[in-house]
Structure 1
Amino acid sequence: MTPFSQFKLTNIAVGLPFASQLDSLADAVRHGDVVVQAPPGTGKTTLVPPAVANAWHGQYGRVVVTAPRRVAVRSAARRLAQLSGTKLGEEVGFTVRGESQVSRHTRVEFVTPGVLLRRLLRDGDIEADAVIIDEVHERGLDTDLVLAMLRDLRDIREDLRIIAMSATVDAPKFAELLGAGTAGAGAAPIVAAEAEMFPLDIRYAPFPKRLDSRGVTDEFLRHVAEQAAGLVAHAHGDVLVFLPGVREVDRCAGYVEGLLTATNFEVLTLHGRQSAEEQDRVFRRDATSAASTAPTSATATATQPRRVIVSTSIAESSVTVPGVRAVVDACLTRGPRLDVARGFSGLVTTSCAQSSANQRAGRAGREGPGIVIRCVSQSEFSSFPAWPAPEIAVADLTQAMLDAAAWGTPRMEGLKLLDAPPAHHTDAALEVLAGLGAIDDTGAITDLGRRLATLPVHPRMGRALLAASELMPEHADKVARAVEKLTDARGLTKITRDHAREHGGKASSFNLLPSDIPALVTALAWPDFVGKRRGADTDEFLFTGGTAATGPRGHEWIAASEITRQSNGRALIRASEPIDLEIAMLAAGHLARTETTAFIEAGRFRARERELLGAIELSSRPAQPTPEQCVSANSAWLADAHLTAPADTEGLRRRMAFAHVHKGEPWPDVSSAGLAASIDVLFAGELDQPRVPRLDSEKLRRLLPWPEATEFDSLVPERMQVPSGSRIRLEYPADPASEDAQIVLAVKLQECFGLAETPQVLGVPVTMHLLSPAGRPLAVTQDLSSFWNGAYSQVRAEMRGRYPKHPWPENPWEEQATARTKRR
């Protein structure tokens, strides 16, 4: 085995509580996979990677560590390099999209889950002896997929070790996943450490309205800023403020600056869109700064001002912001959500999970007693979910399904996932991928799909990138910039140039200009969200995919790239490009079709021929319906025909339905769907006539089986004879399969004297509605014997004075049943 230099753990571990677990960790790693559970401040992100590298090294001598955010990746690598006395990029390195500092000497490499996912899909393996997945509790989609793929890989690579690590995690669940299928089957061991947390003073500062239909309210952001400004005046150390997104961070930071009058403070922001230099500024605070030790702001030095850091959830885990002694938490989070009904995905702002809020609060108790202000009431906080929802359960799965297909597990079937994806989310993703040409009819990945899976953008944008560079090869650079603007991706120019050089120059009848590129890219990426205004006086657009949303006025055609759902349930277009019909056809032309639809109007068959682009009608004209189209129209009409059928026809249909439900075959299904399926039998010889045939009892009886039809009227009688000799019509339920379905026999009480057993039809008791001589209900029962022996006496006492001409005997068992008065 190649000798590898060892990290000096004693130097790295100074002051880190996880040092007490290093021997346990090393022993566990030598035997198999491990789950590490330790709260913030224990040093797990810093200590576990070099400890694993020392304990387990094979042919590669490298440990790969995933952290969910680029800022966490860079920060963790920089800190470990500093503590280990090495140069960043040598023994310790990192790789994020668009930036890498590694060498052939790198023993520990920090990466984002997306980077590792792309490597696994590209190579089918990983050049590492161990993979540490940090912050698994966040349940990001890439993290879940990486963990599942590594489990697959570990089944054929016994030398590979997987370490799942987090501050707050359902440790037994992850231990079970990692342990399944290994030698000596059982859960993977859990190595846990505790951190000494300083006391936290947790306060609640609720605000009436945090969110409205447009998102986080400005009034709430001012409220959050006021809480932060108050802590600057009355608390020690720096103040860390948590908000859900970049817009809120920037606005709140501005409000804080406006509220503070002192000069010995600075307001910083922290979010994922900042450059590495801007982010690093937050993490470079001198540990001995006056800001972290001064009892009040008045003693802070001019060279080390106190700070208010306004951040997204980027500072919640993985990275440590030094000097923080107070936290203001808006208790909000923003994450992807798929609206399956409308077919679009977007970022949705909701209350955070309690586990996330506790992680954020812990940032205030790392260096001394801290203060936490949660901008909600305590009762509201107690109603928050305990854990965040796994992204696989709520997000758009298009990219994930493409990655799974590229891994050889279409629909993610066979992947060892913590949670299976919802079926309707899976179907929606596969429909998008099929529309892009990324998968075939079986769900297997195509050559185009494999190409899309290698691109650092969503498959929708990948399709737009490739297609636009083929159509406009001379403007490949502009295409790349348009996609980068929509995705924040970088380094796409080489991809478009290479693709244009290889596939460009396709003949096109469209006269495209460079100024059309943003619209073209948007439409190619979202062909199902190419929309047309529904009318001149409306701001609603109908999309090719069949959904609708409110959008900008002034344009007939648009291509939408961002749609959100408002609190009132309406969809709002937040980002779009104006397009014309030519670009709409170029992007969504595969959805164009001609469709003739027959319908029934005024008792006759009519038809219209329509030119459609998806769900959008471009034009229409009257047409002559074909016999086949008349059959289709008749089927649609027949689905509801029984609702308006004559009473005797509907009565027969209900009896036939009752026989079908309670006896089964060969009695026919006469539900709406069943009738539509039997249209040829019902209307034999009539379907080619111009007028719509009528549904009647004679036609319905054509569906009765022979010879069983001879028994139908006795099995499911239309009328039932009662002791008086009258034959009373039975009322059968419209849907005999429903839970509350009943057969009702409404009959005058005097006609049932002496009837002890409740009548039945096919073993189902009839519900007796016993009526007064005037036909008004007196009692409802399915147990006549109990009625005569019990409730009847009270009915008799109340009714015999009201109806003296009718018999009300004390003993109904011996009275002659009659439909007449006493005299007659």
Structure 2
Amino acid sequence: MSFSAGLPIADVVSEVREALASHPLVLLQAPPGAGKSTALPLELLNEPWLAGQKVLVLQPRRVAARAVAARLAAGLGEDVGGTVGYRVRFEARVSAATRLEVVTEGILTRRLQRDPELAGVGLVVLDEFHERSLNADLALALLREVQGALREDLRVLVMSATLDESLPARLGVPFIRSEGRAYPVDVRYLTADPVGRVEDVVAGAVRRALEEHEGDILAFLPGVREIRGALGRLADVNAVVLPLYGDLPVREQGRALLPDPSGRRKVVLATNIAETSLTIQGVRVVVDGGLSRSQVFDPGSGLSRLVTGRVTQDAATQRAGRAGRLGPGVAYRLWSPRTQALLPAARPPEMLEADLAPLTLELAQWGTPDPTTLLWLDAPPAPRVGAARELLTGLNALDDSGRVTPEGARLLEFPTHPRLAHLLSTGANGALAADVAALLEERDPFPVGTGTDLSERVSALRSWRRGEQGRGDVAVLERIERLSKQWRRTRNVPVDNAEPDHLEVGALVALAYPERVALARESTSGLARSGTGRFLLASGQGAALPEGDALAGSRALAVAHLDAGSAGWGQAGGRIFLAAPLDPAVLSTRASWVDAVRWDTRSGTLVAQQERRVGALVLDIRPLRDLPGEQRVEALAAGIRSEGLHLLKFTPEAEQLRARVDSLRHWRPEDSWPDLTDAGLLATLEDWLGPSLTTVRTRDDLARINLLPALQGWLTWPQPQHLDQLAPTHLTVPSGSRVRLEYRPDGQNPILAVKLQELFGLADTPTVNGGRTPVLLHLLSPAGRPVQVTQDLRSFWNSSYFEVRRDLRGRYPKHPWPDDPWTHEPTRFTKKRLT
């Protein structure tokens, strides 16, 4: 029986079968509507190489997983839960008869962790791979390792409508392309980019499409808020208008996907979940608002957040393809051709932008604390991995070597971010932990500007559950309650609708965000300034509450969501959006005594004390009686680096030594002279200056250090002798005077400033550096003013001297101005002194 008859994918089914029969990994590109998701898995279900084993089909979204499973089951004439089933977060419809499971990404990762061999599974299909989600990249890396180490017979099929053109070559595997599209789609653009809210523009385009075209309409909007706005604006059209988004109840999702029972036209207002894998029956027109809301890691909240931006070109192609699944279609793109040309081709892989804490914990559980040992398409960036390890160590999920702890293994049992998993795993009040975790994971039910206290959100949720009229968006509270209910089931605790203890809420937030416990900022007197709304976090970051916020008088906070700081917030640092009051006693249970030796820039002194700390928060201090010399040197060196080398006073002799050595570094690089430039000295402070810091405590002490011996001690034998020979401090001139040389940076010729009468009879310009480097002569008048700069003394005597003589002998008649400078005796005296 053919399941792909009449579908474009039918043309390549045989090629896919043959490729999988002889290769463990195969790539397939097929356009939207080709049947790769809803027909091809059935065609492969009875292949000889599968040997009766199961097929797992990975879908990135729950809505798509359910819909694809329904279509596959319908192809067999069965209900979901028979041969075809699905597993998504908190929900499964499978049975002993199930051979083809459609699963979401986290489900596949959990299965691999429990059973690395994937016993009983013969094929894994990674669908919609163009999205390059973090979990999809992780799944491919783990599956490739399983194939190489445990299961040579395991097959992997990677599918998408648009794949990176470089992917086949990078993987070195067979690449199959299905060219056919189910039906042509007429793509139409606006002549100019629209002005106004996207829901208004989309609603207007939907009205036009209803008048000009037959069939159902699929319109893309960035999120639930915009969908609700468009629903209101289309309330009077002659069609059934339905929403479609991920948090919609399953029954409502089904209404959007299936034809209207009474045969009326249908308008589906959807987020980007409808871009891929879903076939919404009856759709002949797509209206694309051009915006997409995608997950981006937000350092302010420590979780991923949704950010609205322009759709990418590959996503726009996916959206337009929805119109051509059941017949010729039309796609309205609500932007101009000029904007289309400027759209990015695709989103960067999520691996390069996402919070890597979940992935890092998964890898530690897999037994791979070093991510570089896996075969990645794009390796996790090392700085993000480092930040993830620091967080997970703070949550007691990883040990110091990066290996998973028993607590870390428990966190993986909760299908959520490790922060919230830690809250759920360790929070003593299970019912309150479920409510707080659900509120932190879902959208804020309160409008912007109504206070930051998370406890008030818990109170509103519980009031709503009691059936009371209260605060908060009801639709959001419904979603929060669905999630809280799942967490209560996981913790096996009953619902609790009592008013929450605000400090207990804060303690739970502190479990998820240990680096964001905070104390009110202190005044210069050292006293807490409660009421200002300014706080210092354990991470060292400053943060502030909105003006007039009810939490401003708190002595301590546990902060959940904040930004990294913006214009207008000044020294306060970031802005706090969500927090809860915290009992300072909670901080005391986490504090430990540490030696604190540091340079205080404000007072210009060395601070040496023991501090009882939680991160950057100091709860108590006591004197440090014994200060190890190494700590003193490290702290003073750090202070000098932070303020600059100007804290040290270099005498002229010290500066000249630095210049002489710097000259030889440029003239003779093969001799390995030390780097005495500012950068070089700052980099090696502990080495050359350390012995001079044993009694230093203040800026004045630093300024009094005699730096010349310290710099001289930085030269190794026989460099001091070579320095005097090659870069002497003075040169003896024909008059008998010893004249100081001025050495200059970057290997410039040193300057010898000397009265020209002292050089009578000297033909060759003096040199240093063993005769390699001539000095730059500044020939001076009797008053010590430069009259000529030259490196060719012979030429000066033969030409320029006579011009100088004519100009100056009238002004300085007591000084010799001979007609023949070659034979006149050099002198530093006047004519009177000579006689």
TM-score (norm. length: structure 2): 0.76
1: CA distance between counterparts of 2:10 and 2:763? 87
In the superposition, relative to structure 1, how do residues 235 and 746 fare at CA in structure 2: closer, same or farther (>3 Å)?
farther
Structure 1 contact 593–614 (Cα < 8 Å) conserved? no
**CA RMSD of superposed structures (Å):** 4.7
2: CA distance between counterparts of 1:13 and 1:532? 64
Deviation of residue 605 (structure 1)? 5.2
The C-alpha deviation readout for 1:565-595, integer Å capped at 9, x for no partner, is 5775974433322323234445xx1577563
Structure 1 contact 605–625 (Cα < 8 Å) conserved? no
In the superposition, relative to structure 1, how do residues 541 and 352 fare at CA in structure 2: closer, same or farther (>3 Å)?
farther
Tell me whether 1:354 sits opposite 2:341 in the alignment.
no
Deviation of residue 130 (structure 1)? 0.4
Structure 1 contact 364–372 (Cα < 8 Å) conserved? no
Tell me whether 1:385 sits opposite 2:380 in the alignment.
no
In the superposition, relative to structure 1, how do residues 449 and 128 fare at CA in structure 2: closer, same or farther (>3 Å)?
same
| Aligned residue in 1 for 2:580 | 577
1: CA distance between counterparts of 2:739 and 2:269? 83
Deviation of residue 44 (structure 1)? 0.8
1: CA distance between counterparts of 2:310 and 2:565? 16
Structure 2 contact 598–639 (Cα < 8 Å) conserved? no
| Aligned residue in 1 for 2:687 | 677
Q: Which amino acid aligns with 1:563?
A: L
In the superposition, relative to structure 1, how do residues 269 and 689 fare at CA in structure 2: closer, same or farther (>3 Å)?
closer
Query: What secondary structure does 2:370 align onto?
Result: helix
| Aligned residue in 1 for 2:453 | none
Larger radius of gyration: 2
Tell me whether 1:332 sits opposite 2:292 in the alignment.
yes
Structure 2 contact 647–699 (Cα < 8 Å) conserved? no
Deviation of residue 56 (structure 1)? 4.5
Query: What secondary structure does 2:21 align onto?
Result: helix
In the superposition, relative to structure 1, how do residues 265 and 574 fare at CA in structure 2: closer, same or farther (>3 Å)?
farther
The C-alpha deviation readout for 1:615-643, integer Å capped at 9, x for no partner, is 12335577778363544443334543456
Deviation of residue 613 (structure 1)? 2.1
Query: What secondary structure does 1:39 align onto?
Result: coil
Tell me whether 1:491 sits opposite 2:502 in the alignment.
no
1: CA distance between counterparts of 2:537 and 2:582? 13
Tell me whether 1:614 sits opposite 2:615 in the alignment.
yes
Query: What secondary structure does 2:39 align onto?
Result: helix
The C-alpha deviation readout for 1:338-365, integer Å capped at 9, x for no partner, is 549x977644444343222222233344
Deviation of residue 671 (structure 1)? 1.5
Deviation of residue 482 (structure 1)? 3.2
Gapped regions of structure 1 (runs ≥ 5): 1-7, 180-186, 209-217, 290-301, 501-511, 734-740, 808-813
| Aligned residue in 2 for 1:532 | 519
Query: What secondary structure does 1:13 align onto?
Result: coil
| Aligned residue in 2 for 1:27 | 18
Deviation of residue 446 (structure 1)? 2.0
| Aligned residue in 2 for 1:650 | 655
1: CA distance between counterparts of 2:361 and 2:733? 69
1: CA distance between counterparts of 2:59 and 2:774? 67
| Aligned residue in 2 for 1:240 | 218
Map 1:95-134; keep pairs closer than 5 Å. Answer: 95-126=87-118, 127-134=120-127
Deviation of residue 462 (structure 1)? 1.9
Deviation of residue 765 (structure 1)? 8.0
2: CA distance between counterparts of 1:143 and 1:203? 35
Map 1:597-608; keep pairs closer than 5 Å. Answer: 597=598, 599=600, 607=608
Query: What secondary structure does 2:67 align onto?
Result: helix
Equivalent residue in structure 1 for 2:154, among 143, 156, 160: 160
| Aligned residue in 2 for 1:4 | none
Structure 2 contact 59–65 (Cα < 8 Å) conserved? yes
Structure 1 contact 337–345 (Cα < 8 Å) conserved? yes
Tell me whether 1:146 sits opposite 2:139 in the alignment.
yes
1: CA distance between counterparts of 2:350 and 2:189? 29
Deviation of residue 241 (structure 1)? 3.4
Deviation of residue 744 (structure 1)? 6.1
Tell me whether 1:370 sits opposite 2:350 in the alignment.
no
Deviation of residue 766 (structure 1)? 9.2
Structure 2 contact 11–178 (Cα < 8 Å) conserved? no
More displaced stretch, 271-280 vs 489-498: 489-498
Structure 2 contact 50–123 (Cα < 8 Å) conserved? no
Query: What secondary structure does 1:129 align onto?
Result: strand
In the superposition, relative to structure 1, how do residues 76 and 525 fare at CA in structure 2: closer, same or farther (>3 Å)?
same
Deviation of residue 400 (structure 1)? 0.3
2: CA distance between counterparts of 1:65 and 1:775? 89
| Aligned residue in 1 for 2:636 | 634
The C-alpha deviation readout for 1:162-212, integer Å capped at 9, x for no partner, is 0000011125425642x4xxxxxxx3343433314322113364357xxxx
Equivalent residue in structure 1 for 2:718, among 700, 707, 724: 707
Gapped regions of structure 2 (runs ≥ 5): 443-482, 522-528, 811-821
Tell me whether 1:273 sits opposite 2:247 in the alignment.
yes
TM-score (norm. length: structure 1): 0.77
Tell me whether 1:434 sits opposite 2:393 in the alignment.
yes
| Aligned residue in 1 for 2:275 | 316
Map 1:272-291; keep pairs closer than 5 Å. Answer: 272-285=246-259
| Aligned residue in 1 for 2:558 | 559
Query: What secondary structure does 2:343 align onto?
Result: coil
2: CA distance between counterparts of 1:393 and 1:23? 36
2: CA distance between counterparts of 1:683 and 1:305? 84
| Aligned residue in 1 for 2:238 | 264
| Aligned residue in 2 for 1:75 | 67
Q: Which amino acid aligns with 1:677?
A: D
In the superposition, relative to structure 1, how do residues 636 and 659 fare at CA in structure 2: closer, same or farther (>3 Å)?
farther
Query: What secondary structure does 2:403 align onto?
Result: coil
Q: Which amino acid aligns with 2:583?
A: D
1: CA distance between counterparts of 2:255 and 2:103? 21
Deviation of residue 698 (structure 1)? 2.8
More displaced stretch, 743-752 vs 197-206: 743-752
Deviation of residue 115 (structure 1)? 0.2
2: CA distance between counterparts of 1:728 and 1:228? 88
1: CA distance between counterparts of 2:190 and 2:765? 70
Tell me whether 1:425 sits opposite 2:427 in the alignment.
no
Structure 1 contact 594–612 (Cα < 8 Å) conserved? no
Equivalent residue in structure 1 for 2:167, among 163, 173, 190: 173
| Aligned residue in 1 for 2:358 | 399
Aligned residues: 736
In the superposition, relative to structure 1, how do residues 62 and 672 fare at CA in structure 2: closer, same or farther (>3 Å)?
same
Query: What secondary structure does 1:396 align onto?
Result: coil
2: CA distance between counterparts of 1:572 and 1:764? 63
Query: What secondary structure does 1:425 align onto?
Result: helix
| Aligned residue in 1 for 2:707 | 696
In the superposition, relative to structure 1, how do residues 562 and 776 fare at CA in structure 2: closer, same or farther (>3 Å)?
farther
